[in-house]
Amino acid sequence: GEDVEQSLFLSVREGDSSVINCTYTDSSSTYLYWYKQEPGAGLQLLTYIFSNMDMKQDQRLTVLLNKKDKHLSLRIADTQTGDSAIYFCAETYTDRGSTLGRLYFGRGTQLTVWP
Nearer to another protein, 38 or 54 (CB): 38
Secondary structure in 3-state letters for the chain: CCCCEECCEEEEECCCCEEEEEECCCCCCCEEEEEEECCCCCEEEEEEEECCCCEEEECCEEEEEECCCCEEEEEECCCCHHHCEEEEEEEEEEECCEEEEEEEECCCEEEEEEC
Residue of 35, 79, 91, 111 that binds another protein (CB under 8 A): 35
Query: From residue 39 to residue 78, what is the string marking binding to another protein with x (rule CB under 8 A)?
Result: -xxxxxx--x------------------------------
Closest to another protein by CB, 13 or 107: 107
Q: Which residues 3-22 are close enough to bind another protein by CB under 8 A?
A: 4
Does 107 engage in binding with another protein (CB under 8 A)?
Answer: yes
